[in-house]
Amino acid sequence: MIQDIGAGRFHNEYRACTPQPGDRILCYQNRNVLGRYEAGQLTFLTYEEAGGQMEDTFRYLFSIDGVAYFLPEAEAFGADAMQRLPEGVGWQPLELFRTARPREAAFAAVTGFQLAEWYRTRRYCPQCGHRMVHDDIERMMHCTSCGLMEYPKICPAVIVGVTKGDEILLTRYAGRSYKKYALIAGFAEVGETIEETVHREVMEEVGLKVKNLHYYKSQPWSASSTLLMGFFCEADGDDEIRLDQSELAEARWCPRAEVPEWEDVSLTMEMMQVFRTKGILEFNRETSGDTSAV
């Protein structure tokens, strides 16, 4: 999955520090990241390549394997800097994070994007309109006028593998560029538990009641500031699909052996493959440690 870049290599603790030679610069415009993309390999500007000056205008983001990544302030990386870019460096679509190598570069691109978006939309206080300033100790923006504090935004959401015996419910979205099969997905609403989100989303999208929820894994999905939580569950009673056509173009029961596979870093894909190779009953036994069940 996108976050699987090796144990203990990603450090996101905030530090008030400035870039050093060799550190990487993550610069975004719309949903593009500045870098090189050659033969499937994604690399970013080093601090030296970005000019190696005005260190106070770069914000520390995180480090991976000891290499720190920084975000330039908008003012620090204007038209002048763009004209001095090294050969081969240009805007690369963020969507490359699904397939680009090395994996830590793909992870850095999409994780940095979430932070860049948060900083971009927190320049001014949403309560009183004054300029926000960064806290010295933690990753927090606060308003010097009214005192409002803002922390990075993470939206919880669910991915749901609904099963019926040896079949799993596959869906395709309506009105989105992503046309491949997926699982039921949706954001948590205010005031509900994540389990209630599972029940509500499945009912809204395909009109099914579900039972026997089993938490699988989570995944940061920074392209939409989301923390995904994956659940498997079983259809409860009536298994007739009533499609919400505003959300979905298709939903169907797919036998295990026919679950499709393609290269993808998503929790959705891993859950589809777990079901294809293991099935939900074996999976439940493995994770619960209860061999007497089923």
Residue keyed to tokens 């173009």: 249
For Zn ion, the binding residue among 41, 53, 121, 145 (CB under 5 A) is 145
Look up residue 101 and give its DSSP letter: B
Measure the CA–CA gap between 23 and 58, rounded to whole angstroms.
Answer: 11
Per CB under 5 A, contacts with Zn ion among 69-108 are none
- Based on CB atoms, which residue is closest to Zn ion, 124 or 187? 124
**Six token digits for residue 18:** 């400035």
- What single letter denotes the amino acid at residue 56? D
The b/e string for 122-137 (b: 16+ C-beta within 10 A; e otherwise) is beebeeeeeebeeeee
Q: How many CB atoms lie within 10 A of CB 64?
A: 21
Of 70-78, 101-109, 118-126, 262-270, the segment contacting Zn ion by CB under 5 A is: 118-126
For Zn ion, the binding residue among 50, 64, 100, 125 (CB under 5 A) is 125
- Based on CB atoms, which residue is closest to Zn ion, 123 or 180? 123
- Which is it for strands 24-25 and 67-72: parallel, antiparallel or unpaired? parallel
- Based on CB atoms, which residue is closest to Zn ion, 141 or 184? 141
Give me the least distance between CB of 186 and Zn ion, in Å please.
32
| Residue 185 engages Zn ion in binding (rule: CB under 5 A) | no
For Zn ion, the binding residue among 121, 127, 224, 288 (CB under 5 A) is 127
| Count of positions on this chain that bind Zn ion (CB under 5 A) | 8
Helices and strands in the chain, H and E counts: 5, 18
Q: How many CB atoms lie within 10 A of CB 61?
A: 22
φ/ψ (deg, to 5) at 203? -65, -45
For Zn ion, the binding residue among 17, 74, 146, 249 (CB under 5 A) is 146
| Residue 148 engages Zn ion in binding (rule: CB under 5 A) | yes
φ/ψ (deg, to 5) at 151? -110, 160
- Based on CB atoms, which residue is closest to Zn ion, 31 or 131? 131
Measure the CA–CA gap between 174 and 257, rounded to whole angstroms.
Answer: 25
For Zn ion, the binding residue among 27, 33, 61, 143 (CB under 5 A) is 143
Give me the least distance between CB of 118 and Zn ion, in Å please.
17
Which residues sit at the interface with Zn ion, rule CB under 5 A?
125, 127-128, 130, 143, 145-146, 148
